[in-house]
Amino acid sequence: MCLCSFQSAHAQTPVKPIRLIVPYAAGGPIDVTARALAVRVKDSLGTVIIENRPGAGGNIGADTVAKATPDGTVIGIAATATHAVNPWLYSRMPYNAATDFAPITQMLRVPNVLVMNADTAKRLHIATLQDFLRYARANPGKLNYGSGGNGSAGHLAGELFKTRAGIFAVHIPYNGGNPAQLALLAGHVDFNFDNLATAAPNIKSGKLLALAVTTPTRSAALPEVPAIAENLKDFSVDTWWGLVAPAGTPASVIQRLNQAFVQALNAPETKTRFASLMAEPVPSTPSAFGQFMASELSKYESVVKASGARVD
């Protein structure tokens, strides 16, 4: 009788909803995927409320997670910028990317793609990545590339590529990704490293020539386009994001969150929906995601320093 009374009282205790902090504005790919997963884990985790906390390149939202009570009721998105680039780009950081978070699982990765203006590529007789590398090595400084600004994903991808390929090309920063893409389409710059989802329509229309993707392997969205790693061993620079909790969150809570979100990421419906964003689900164990974030943080230290980009 006592046991039944306890169970009845326990069943009536409201479960506190989980707040999932997205460190970017609503409507972008990270926000869209977070909302889709929040719906899919409702049966196993209860209500998950998406809370957008944009600003300072994602640092405001990430700091909200870092300083939350470590009980599993506040989790957040960790992304390439917040946990690999910003610690080296910003002169002052409100959190420690290496120690203030408990990894839950990686969620997705979206390839960047090396694209050339199609007319420029034809004029320079460039049809493949090998053609591009031969031309760039024989003509240092004659090629230029655009990006969404100093320290942007496109800028850092270009700097890493230049270092690994042994080439020199002039970087031309623009005020955002859209102006950079328009400059490429107009022939004002020769090549860009663009997000695949953004570049895909112009690749399909023939305005841009896709030479290679930046993920370690080819993308299912463009299977005929090689990965840069096929020519430059271990080259990898893509856009990724995953889930983290505040450091100190109990391991049992992390495991419960991991199981629910990994199951959601593995669902066929999830893969189909995210394919429209050119995003590939990459669920992982908490340990594997932690190791991945540590390796990305280490990799971008030299890339950001080589780029000369700095935010004071």
* 3-class SS of residue 28: coil
**106 and 247 co-located in one domain:** yes
8 Å CB contact between 84 and 297: yes
Cα separation, 291 vs 271, whole angstroms: 24
Residue 79's domain spans which residues?
Answer: 2-110+239-307
**48 and 100 co-located in one domain:** yes
Phi and psi of 268, rounded to 5°?
-55, -35
Task: Look up the CATH number of the domain holding residue 99.
Answer: 3.40.190.150
Residues 170-214: pLDDT tens digits?
999 999 888 999 999 999 999 999 988 889 999 999 999 999 999
**104 and 118 co-located in one domain:** no
The whole-number average pLDDT for the span 286-309 is 94
Is residue 38 one of the residues assigned to a domain? yes
Tell me what pLDDT residue 308 has.
87
Res 3 pLDDT > 60: no
The set of long-range contacts for 123-131, using a CB threshold of 8 Å and a minimum separation of 24, is 126/209, 126/211, 127/209, 128/211, 129/211, 129/212, 129/226, 129/228, 129/231, 130/231
Among 230, 255, 274, give the residue marking a domain's end: 230
Tell me what pLDDT residue 238 has.
85
**12 and 85 co-located in one domain:** yes
**149 and 222 co-located in one domain:** yes
The whole-number average pLDDT for the span 51-68 is 96
Res 223 pLDDT > 60: yes
Overall number of domains in the chain: 2
Tell me what pLDDT residue 23 has.
95
Among 186, 211, 230, give the residue marking a domain's end: 230
The whole-number average pLDDT for the span 142-153 is 92
**11 and 40 co-located in one domain:** yes
Q: How confident is the model at residue 28 (pLDDT cuts 50, 70, 90)?
A: confident
**167 and 274 co-located in one domain:** no
Is residue 150 one of the residues assigned to a domain? yes
8 Å CB contact between 279 and 96: no
**152 and 162 co-located in one domain:** yes
8 Å CB contact between 79 and 30: yes
Q: How confident is the model at residue 14 (pLDDT cuts 50, 70, 90)?
A: very low
Is residue 127 one of the residues assigned to a domain? yes
Task: Look up the CATH number of the domain holding residue 187.
Answer: 3.40.190.10
Is residue 222 one of the residues assigned to a domain? yes
Is residue 117 one of the residues assigned to a domain? yes
**88 and 162 co-located in one domain:** no
Is residue 35 one of the residues assigned to a domain? yes
Identify which has the larger pLDDT, 7 or 230: 230
The whole-number average pLDDT for the span 141-163 is 93
Match 């003509």 to its residue by tokens. Answer: 139
**150 and 222 co-located in one domain:** yes
8 Å CB contact between 114 and 193: yes
**What average pLDDT does the chain have?**
92
Is residue 312 one of the residues assigned to a domain? no
Tell me what pLDDT residue 164 has.
92
Residues 232-251: pLDDT tens digits?
998 988 889 999 999 999 99
**209 and 186 co-located in one domain:** yes
Cα separation, 129 vs 212, whole angstroms: 7
Among 230, 255, 288, give the residue marking a domain's end: 230
**28 and 15 co-located in one domain:** yes
Q: What is the pTM of this model?
A: 0.85
